[in-house]
Chain A
Amino acid sequence: MTRTIHLSLDINASRYELDVETRVTLLDALRENLGLTGTKKGCDQGQCGACTCHVDGKRVLSCLTLAAQVEGKQVITIEGIAAENGDLHPVQAAFIENDAFQCGYCTPGQIMSAVACIREGHAGSEEEIREYMSGNLCRCGAYNSIVAAVREAASAVTTGVAAKDKAEVA
């Protein structure tokens, strides 16, 4: 089976045209075809969360999503959440400030989950953050700092950057 299809994908405010086999996942399309390697492959079977992206504002596991499924939808990856002028998203800044990672490989997925977790209204307490961030494994064990970063970013986001996130959903 090697049937290729043409796809037009909207990713991070850019339009990408590509020809891929129908079975190519969104994760492999990003990493192998489009050079968007910020989205990580940790397990390729929906268990670790490293490949978390946003599709129409909701977090999805890009390893369990076919590239063909996201045509006509808005895909946001880790490369697309900082401001155009390079200013970091409050979640990114809070991750650095709180040392919420070591090796950095689960980090893009953690950050994409954290952005969504805050937007979903699930960052109200440390307990809630722990629960709603548990789809993203971190083997370096940065969990304490991730919780601290999400708490800090949640207050920053609700005060300053909410408009940007709303725009992303729309």
Chain B
Amino acid sequence: MTIMETRKHGDAADGMVGGRFSRLDGRLKTTGGATYALEQPVKNVVHAVLVQSTIAAGRVVAVDTEAAKAAPGILSIFTPEDDLGLLVASDWHGNRPENEPFRPLPRQISFNGQAITAVVAETLEQATEAAKLVKVSYEEAQPVTSLDDPNAGEGRLVDMLTVGWGDAEAAYAAADVRIEAEYRTPREYHVPIEPHGLTAKWEGEFLTVWEPSQWTHGMARTYAEWFGIPYENVRIVSPFIGGGFGSKAMGYTYGAVAAAAARKLGRPVKLAVTRPQTFTAYGGRAATKQTIRIGATKDGVLQAIVHRGASETSVFADFPEQTGAATPLLYAVPNLSTQHRLVPVNTVTPGALRAPGKNPSAFGIESAIEELAYAVGIDPLELRLRNYADHDYQSGKPWSTRQLREALTVGADVFGWSGRSHEPRSMRDGRQLVGWGIGCGTFPVLKAASEALIRILGDGSVEVVSGAIDMGQGTYTILAQTAAEVLGVPAERVDVKLGDSSLPGATVAGGSMLAGALTGAVHKAATAARDELIGLALNDSNSPFRDTGANTLVISGGRISVPRGEGPSLTLAELMSAIGRDRIETQRNTLPEGANGPEDHKRSWTTMANIQGPTAGDLSMHSWCAHFVEVKVDEDFGTVRVSHVVSAFDCGRIYNPKLAESQWRGGIIMGIGQALLEEGLVDERFGRVINNNMGDYLVPTNADIPHIQVISVGVPDYDASVLGGKGVGEVGIVGVAPAIANAVFHATGKRVRDLPITLEKLI
């Protein structure tokens, strides 16, 4: 185990994989020099502003643009009347309907806040003003606004999400102890501090899009298909992304509108989605509900879990927020059944938000397991250890690595769990009720091929080049560390270029898989570059190593020399000069040898079709964590404050603890927001998200967050990735909300099963 004591000042070793190396992009980000999408200087740019629908269902009868057109500076107004000449693009898996027209400004209204008109003007102020003058008349239909709408119905079963083994219903019926409860989570939103938007510019049949992107290659494909131009004609540029959390991995309708407007007008168009518009320009996490029944022995040994969940989706596309995603994985249970339903409502199609599925699923099962702990009178930590899963009951496969027991025991030690008294309302701090709770989390290891280019330059510096992105996870930094370790140069001498679809192919920064994919590709390319350099050093007629008789050479600290120190020792720059090279360049990918043609490349970099799930091989591979949370609840006012958090993680080998800790804490903090603050409020009459801004949709502030201690209990998992890491970015949020709900129950004796846990639910 490694307790992550805060150690700020690094040493030379920190530049290697596993070191606490500071972010390479830190200087740019702290001086205002990091240039995000909408900040790219583009000459002659004009501004587009969206008009969104104010009804949730029906159709646009007419758009009156007369007043808007008369406003100063107006260049064009696009309405549902305009056929922008676009085609529907592929989904994430590369499936595409043939020649189906795509109307990003539709006449048919499917949700409140749907973009229906775009106003383009010389300045942002002119476009904003004119957008207010657009008058839309509608023919309204009756919307279905939420899971609770009487017309919503039960939804339809998603067959591929039905999981089961044994006879769960019979085992539940026969169990000595039975609990049953329903758990609910509301609509939640990504709220990255950088709002979405883009600048689109055409040069003939070539399109450049500056847009924050978690996946430059995938989005380039989307734009190319919308406009019917070759993939190679589109360039997505995204060197910095102001937070994504799942929301910036695909093209959205406003992107199509901006790019189409730019083509029609013959000028670059900038479209900044306003903060309120972000709540419906793309989807957040769907509202969910799930019923969990657990049957157990009197000793708390699980006999059966029966899980029935549902999530809302839009009326025109399916996005299941899989409430059963974590349920089968966390515990040993001989009988299990989960099902998930999709309920169409008049909302924007929900999307992937940090740990989709796993997150609400863990809220259910990790709340239910503590309800069982109280039903049988067993400490929640002991109950979890008693039901520890020694293998994956769902796939029947052994775990690759699973340090969840260590996470639970080490986390408990550091937290001081043994000092807990089990009875609710039994711990106090003055007028505050004190409660302690646990929540476990899991996230699968997803694997994808990627590509990287390495250049060793004449001055001995190194470049790493990939179309992958860094939205704050630390891609720039860990790829520099990876190349530095292989090539024996200080990480400061490595320049990493990312965020451009014209660069070598990379999978999506999603599913916590980018680090594993890219470190693998960089490691492979850098190893090839090192081998080539050493080969040249041994064989080039001008190399001082040629006559040493050495079979190989070592590179360390930026110098190349003969093993065991005898003979010449040159800096890489001196060697490059001696052999007359200004660069050595190697490009490698991690596709299998038999599937490495152009079509394989396109499929791998621009779709998710080739991504391997956690049980694709002989093992079951996942990240794991255990959160220990203390809350203090004001007995009179019902206010909940999180006062202490200790979280232990098994994410395999950690490439840079400083950055991984930041991601873990970030996930935990988003989990605190989910537990106590975050809820999209829907007006039942109009299907409108009424708190569509950062003052009313509450996210945690600095004052809401105590010091959070994070601990790594992971061991290298070389089945999961080349360098032994598992996913870091998403698992941190999983299990936080139930840990807080469990702590609130321990403090107050009140079990809150619908998030967020707000004071009116406690008093």
| Chain A residues within CB distance 8 Å of chain B | 1-2, 21, 23-24, 28, 31-32, 35-45, 47-48, 50, 77-79, 82, 88, 92, 95-99, 101-108, 111, 126, 129-131, 133-134, 136-148, 152
List, in ascending order, chain B residues with CB within 8 A of A138's CB.
193, 702
Q: Does B551 contact A (CB under 8 A)?
A: no
- In the A-B complex, the 3 residue pairs with the closest CB atoms: A38-B32, A105-B242, A102-B472
Q: Using an 8 Å CB-CB cutoff, how does the interface string of B618-653 with A read, 1 for contact, 0 for none?
A: 000000000000000000000000000000000000
Distance (whole angstroms) from the CB of B732 to the closest CB of chain A: 9
Interface residues of B in 159-184 (CB under 8 A from A): none
Q: Decide if A99 touches B32 in the complex (CB within 8 Å).
A: no
Q: Decide if A141 touches B667 in the complex (CB within 8 Å).
A: yes
Q: Decide if A37 touches B662 in the complex (CB within 8 Å).
A: no
Q: Using an 8 Å CB-CB cutoff, how does the interface string of B17-52 with A read, 1 for contact, 0 for none?
A: 000001101111111111110110100000000000
Distance (whole angstroms) from the CB of B655 to the closest CB of chain A: 14
Distance (whole angstroms) from the CB of A164 to the closest CB of chain B: 16
Q: Decide if B693 touches A95 in the complex (CB within 8 Å).
A: no
Q: Decide if B194 touches A103 in the complex (CB within 8 Å).
A: yes
- Known contacts A2-B73, A102-B662, A139-B192; A92/B125 CB under 8 A: no
Q: Decide if A79 touches B192 in the complex (CB within 8 Å).
A: no
Please give me the residue from chain B that is nearest to A111 by CB atom.
Answer: B30
A1 to B667, CA, bound (A): 46
30 A–B contacts, CB within 8 A, in A order = A37-B36, A37-B39, A38-B33, A40-B242, A42-B195, A42-B275, A42-B694, A77-B32, A78-B31, A95-B26, A96-B27, A97-B9, A99-B659, A99-B661, A102-B471, A103-B242, A103-B471, A104-B29, A104-B472, A105-B240, A105-B242, A106-B193, A108-B30, A126-B707, A130-B703, A131-B702, A141-B668, A144-B665, A144-B707, A144-B708
Distance (whole angstroms) from the CB of B727 to the closest CB of chain A: 16
| Residue in contact with A145 in the complex, picked from B39, B662, B670, CB distance below 8 Å | B662
A57 to B6, CA, bound (A): 33
Please give me the residue from chain A that is nearest to B666 by CB atom.
Answer: A141
Residues of B contacting A: mostly? loop
Q: Decide if A44 touches B35 in the complex (CB within 8 Å).
A: no
List, in ascending order, chain A residues with CB within 8 A of B241's CB.
103
Q: Does B596 contact A (CB under 8 A)?
A: no
Residues of A contacting B: mostly? loop
Distance (whole angstroms) from the CB of B286 to the closest CB of chain A: 20
- Known contacts A42-B194, A104-B472; A141/B702 CB under 8 A: no
List, in ascending order, chain A residues with CB within 8 A of B129's CB.
1
Interface size class of B (residues with CB under 8 A): 35 or more
Q: Does B700 contact A (CB under 8 A)?
A: yes
List, in ascending order, chain A residues with CB within 8 A of B275's CB.
42-45, 47
Interface residues of B in 69-88 (CB under 8 A from A): 72-73
List, in ascending order, chain A residues with CB within 8 A of B699's CB.
137, 139
**How many contacting A-B pairs (Cβ < 8 A)?**
187
Please give me the residue from chain A that is nearest to B29 by CB atom.
Answer: A104
Q: Decide if A2 touches B35 in the complex (CB within 8 Å).
A: no
List, in ascending order, chain B residues with CB within 8 A of A98's CB.
8
Q: Decide if B32 touches A24 in the complex (CB within 8 Å).
A: no
Q: Given known contacts A38-B33, A145-B665, what 10 new A-B pairs fall within 8 Å (CB)?
A: A21-B125, A28-B125, A39-B32, A41-B38, A41-B195, A92-B30, A104-B29, A104-B240, A137-B193, A139-B191
Distance (whole angstroms) from the CB of B235 to the closest CB of chain A: 21
- Known contacts A105-B243, A139-B245; A147/B702 CB under 8 A: yes
Q: Decide if B36 touches A44 in the complex (CB within 8 Å).
A: no
Q: Decide if A96 touches B30 in the complex (CB within 8 Å).
A: yes
Distance (whole angstroms) from the CB of B99 to the closest CB of chain A: 39
List, in ascending order, chain B residues with CB within 8 A of A107's CB.
29-30
Q: Decide if B666 touches A140 in the complex (CB within 8 Å).
A: yes
Q: Decide if A104 touches B25 in the complex (CB within 8 Å).
A: yes
Q: Decide if A134 touches B22 in the complex (CB within 8 Å).
A: no
A158 to B22, CA, bound (A): 25
A108 to B703, CA, bound (A): 19
| Residue in contact with A105 in the complex, picked from B72, B193, B474, B702, CB distance below 8 Å | B193
- Known contacts A103-B243, A104-B34; A45/B658 CB under 8 A: no
